[in-house]
Structure 1
Amino acid sequence: MPAPLSQEQTRQDHERLLDAAEALFYEKGIRAVGMDEVRAASGLPLKRIYRLHPTKDDLVVAVLRRRDTRWRGRLTAAAETHADPRARLLAAFDWLAAWCAEPGFRGCAWINAFGELGPASPAVLAEVRAHKDAFHRHLADWSTAAGLTDPAPVQLLAEGAIVTAAITDTPTPAHRARTAVETLLHAAGQ
């Protein structure tokens, strides 16, 4: 009988699994990727994968949750480098434009997951909603601090820019959304 896996080995296996699944799901789509492909990319046996995540939906949720932590961390770090609230809000859109220009950009992983699975997976839907709520709270906080009374237009501009950038394969929509936010700030006297 093989020795039990250490916590460190379990952590490493889990990270390797999430890395492989995230890359495959983001590039090809969740439904297009079978668990055998995840197994091959991660180098882990299916038995080990299913011990870590008993269902594909569990794996998708784990991928989205980890991506959310990293994604919002990068966004927040970019925005929070600015003390001025107006600059902070605009920096969020600068970061979005830079992200949309990254090689391999395929849009919002959460919108993509919702588009593929919709309400068919309550766990994935809950994770998508949690990400969007958190992202919108960041934008609302930055918008309010910058003097805007209604953050909804800013949130819609951000979401629209991400989706349109994926479709057009250019960060231009994020730049245009930033310009629109500047117009909103100017109209509010900021």
Structure 2
Amino acid sequence: MTKIAPETSQDIPEHHRPYGPGPRAAERIFDTARELFYREGIRAVGVDEIVTKAGVTKPSLYRSFKSKDDLVAAVLREVELGFWDRFEAAEAAFPGDAKAQMVGYFEGLAARSGGADYRGCALSNAVVEYPDRDHVGRAVSQAHKQELRDRLRAKAEQMGASDPKALGDAMMLLIEGVFTSSQMFEDDDKPALAVVGAVKALIEVYCR
């Protein structure tokens, strides 16, 4: 009787192969969780779904992350880094011109919000999902929003606004409005498309 050699990891197609422990598995888990959390919502996605979609074992996840909450925090911190990359890119495009920097940021935001897969800001969504202020996901998101508020007020002051706090807060409301309204309306009729004109009007009123 001919013996059939056991299937090895090298024989399994890449998209069906469980990833072993180590950096590669951690990256696979992280990328899968980030996609699922954004598309489906953090609380709607369980550990079992993450490991199945990532093609890893559950022990691999817990070797890389202490818990689902630990994974949530890691994903949200990376989301925050991406946010600041875009914000600071607008600053770099218009050195020393706070008005142009903010208009540039809002132009990019309006363009991104038109995507079919756009679900707003993952950090804003996390605040809604976690009403408990002690939850790590809420804490990461809350700290980010406070820093954003501070930076927007600083931008308003650099513009010479008559009331920097009010203008900064108004710009924050516009940003959060884009994040929320973009999930409610069709791509070709989103209120977010009007946000660039709105921020220009606000700046003009406060910086006369």
> When the two structures are superposed, what TM-score results if normalisation uses the length of structure 2?
0.78
What SS does the aligned partner of 1:167 have?
A: coil
CA distance in 2 between partners of 1:138 and 1:98 (Å): 22
Long gaps (5+) in structure 1: 1-8
Instruction: Provide the rounded CA distance (Å) in 1 between the counterparts of 2:45 and 2:138.
Output: 19
Shift of 1:15: 2.2
Comparing 44-53 and 79-88, the one that deviates more: 79-88
The CA deviation at 1:121 is 5.6
Query: In structure 2, what is the equivalent of residue 161 of structure 1?
Result: 178
Match of 2:205 in 1: 187
Q: CA deviation at 1:120?
A: 7.0
Taking the TM superposition and a 5 Å limit, the aligned residue runs for 1:15-164 are 15-83=27-95, 84-119=97-132, 122-148=135-161, 149-150=164-165, 151-164=168-181
Q: Secondary structure at the match of 2:94?
A: coil
Whether the 8 Å CA contact 1:57–1:121 is kept in 2: the answer is no
Does the CA contact (< 8 Å) of 2:149 and 2:172 recur in 1?
yes
Larger relative helix fraction: 1
1:4 corresponds in structure 2 to: none
| Aligned residue type for 2:192 | A
Higher RCO, 1 or 2 (CA under 8 Å, sep at least 6)? Answer: 1
In structure 2, what is the Cα distance between the partners aligned to 1:181 and 1:144? 15
**Contact preservation (8 Å) 1:107, 1:162:** yes
1:75-94 deviation line (CA, Å, top 9, x unaligned): 32134311222111111111
RMSD: 2.1
Query: 2:193: which partner in 1?
Result: 175
Within 1, Cα distance between the matches of 2:24 and 2:90?
A: 29
**Paired AA for residue 175 in structure 1:** L
Q: How many angstroms does 1:112 deviate by?
A: 1.6
Q: How many residues align?
A: 182
One-letter amino acid matched to 1:69? L
- Determine which structure has more spread, i.e. the larger CA radius of gyration: 2
Aligned residues of 1:30 and 1:113 also touching (Cα < 8 A): yes
**In structure 2, C-alpha distance between the alignment counterparts of 1:71 and 1:186, rounded to whole Å:** 26
* Distance in 2 of aligned mates of 1:152 and 1:185: 12
Partners of 1:113 and 1:128 within 8 A in 2:
yes
- Alignment check: 8 A CA contact 1:89 1:143 kept: no
After TM superposition, give the deviation of residue 141 of structure 1 in Å: 2.7
